[in-house]
A and B are shown apart, each in its own frame.
Chain A
Amino acid sequence: MYQGLLAETVTITGDHDDEIGAYLARPLGPGPFPGVLVIHHAPGWDGGSKEIARRFAAEGYVAICPNLYHRFGPDLAPDDAAAAARANGWITTDQFLGDAAGAVRFLRGMPVSNGKVGTIGYCSGGRQSFLCACELPVDAAVDCYGAFVINTPPPELPYKMEPIIDRAPKISCPILGLFGVEDKNPAPEEVAKIDAELTRLGKEYEFHSFENAGHGFFAVDRPMYRVEAAVEGWKLILGFYGRTLR
């Protein structure tokens, strides 16, 4: 555990060479340190997401959380930027991947980097972390209850999110999946289907589903928080990154 940390806002080069803001948290010291890309959830580049980045810094990782809603207004408060995202149809998969690739490049370019980078995301970010495992040169990916990986969203949803399981043959790193058995999206049936497909493809992965936990059990500021699942989940994440990134 590192007691001394540095956390700040930096500018990174994202999709289409756009400059976007990112929250960077790292341990003090010369390193070398592995990197973690923290993908914020649909409610935006909020305090909870930045708190997760600081937790990783305290655990000895350089963590970066890019503002995926930067283009809606770089100076907007996170909740206002999320409102703009809702009003404008969220962000595209290609734009997300371009910004994520920029964040990975930024981490690897830091003098304290050990060259390895993992990704993690929760809810919508869990799906996007799975996407990173398929499309980007990363060394590990953690998917916390990402939905619509294999299932098709219901037709009444105005946002047409495509399933991404067809990209799974391109997965090039180990994946850790953490889920709640009471979750409705992804429900245990969807998790089981992803599990079966990754087994069929011979990918390196491990899935854990927690009893007495539903969607969002890591979220410390919401009623959905479940202390047993969250504490055990953090142990699994740090163990996984310890094996894959150090």
Chain B
Amino acid sequence: MCSYVVEKAVLTGCAKAAGTWRPITDAVVAVDHPSHATLDHALIVDFVNAGRPMSERVALELSVASARDLIAAMQAALAAFDAGA
């Protein structure tokens, strides 16, 4: 289905696409039909700069299973950093 599930996060950082680093201000996170990945549903993340055109976003379309793996890896990395900090 078109789930219309959308969450947002305010970010501080930058992202690289087409050989160029750009500051990003927000992430728009959805679980819905992807545009490009050959999947029925995907975790879709658009890293955007609110002041720039949407064509400059950095986009991800990940299978739900691999998205969970990515989230686990990110949490593990942050946990390790916190433990060592």
Q: Contact check, A79 vs B35: say whether CB atoms are below 8 A apart.
A: yes
Q: Does A117 contact B (CB under 8 A)?
A: no
Q: Contact check, A41 vs B1: say whether CB atoms are below 8 A apart.
A: no
Residues of B within 8 A of A158 (CB): 4-7
Residues of A within 8 A of B20 (CB): none
Residues of B within 8 A of A42 (CB): 2, 4, 32-33
Q: Which of B1, B35, B46 has the most CB of A within 10 A?
A: B1
CB B74 to nearest CB in A, in angstroms, measures 22
Judged by DSSP, the binding face of A is loop
CB A30 to nearest CB in B, in angstroms, measures 38
Q: Contact check, B39 vs A185: say whether CB atoms are below 8 A apart.
A: no
Q: Contact check, B7 vs A83: say whether CB atoms are below 8 A apart.
A: no
Q: Contact check, B34 vs A83: say whether CB atoms are below 8 A apart.
A: no
Using an 8 Å CB-CB cutoff, how does the interface string of A69-91 with B read, 1 for contact, 0 for none?
Answer: 00011001111111110110010
Q: Contact check, B55 vs A76: say whether CB atoms are below 8 A apart.
A: yes
Say whether, besides A86-B46, A158-B7, A81 and B54 are in contact (CB < 8 Å).
yes
Using an 8 Å CB-CB cutoff, how does the interface string of B1-40 with A read, 1 for contact, 0 for none?
Answer: 1111111100000000000000000101010111110111
Q: Does B84 contact A (CB under 8 A)?
A: no
CB neighbors of B among A175-192 (8 A): 183-186
CB A222 to nearest CB in B, in angstroms, measures 6
Q: Does A147 contact B (CB under 8 A)?
A: yes
Interface size, chain B (Cβ < 8 Å): 27
Q: Does A118 contact B (CB under 8 A)?
A: no
CB A185 to nearest CB in B, in angstroms, measures 4
Tell me the bound Cα distance from A185 to B2 in angstroms. Answer: 9
Say whether, besides A77-B55, A79-B59, A86-B46, A183 and B40 are in contact (CB < 8 Å).
no
Q: Does B43 contact A (CB under 8 A)?
A: no
Interface size, chain A (Cβ < 8 Å): 38
Q: Does A110 contact B (CB under 8 A)?
A: no
CB B38 to nearest CB in A, in angstroms, measures 7
**B2 touches which one: A83, A124, A223 (CB < 8 A)?**
A124
Tell me the bound Cα distance from A161 to B4 in angstroms. Answer: 9
Tell me the bound Cα distance from A101 to B53 in angstroms. Answer: 29
What 8 A-B pairs have minimum CB-CB distances, sorted nearest first?
Answer: A79-B35, A185-B1, A42-B2, A159-B4, A124-B2, A84-B54, A80-B54, A87-B28
A selection of 6 A-B contacts at a CB cut-off of 8 Å is A42-B4, A87-B8, A147-B1, A183-B1, A216-B33, A223-B38
* Other 17 A-B pairs with CB < 8 A, given A41-B33, A86-B6, A145-B1: A41-B2, A42-B32, A73-B55, A76-B54, A76-B55, A79-B35, A79-B36, A80-B53, A80-B54, A87-B26, A124-B2, A147-B2, A158-B6, A222-B38, A222-B39, A222-B40, A223-B39
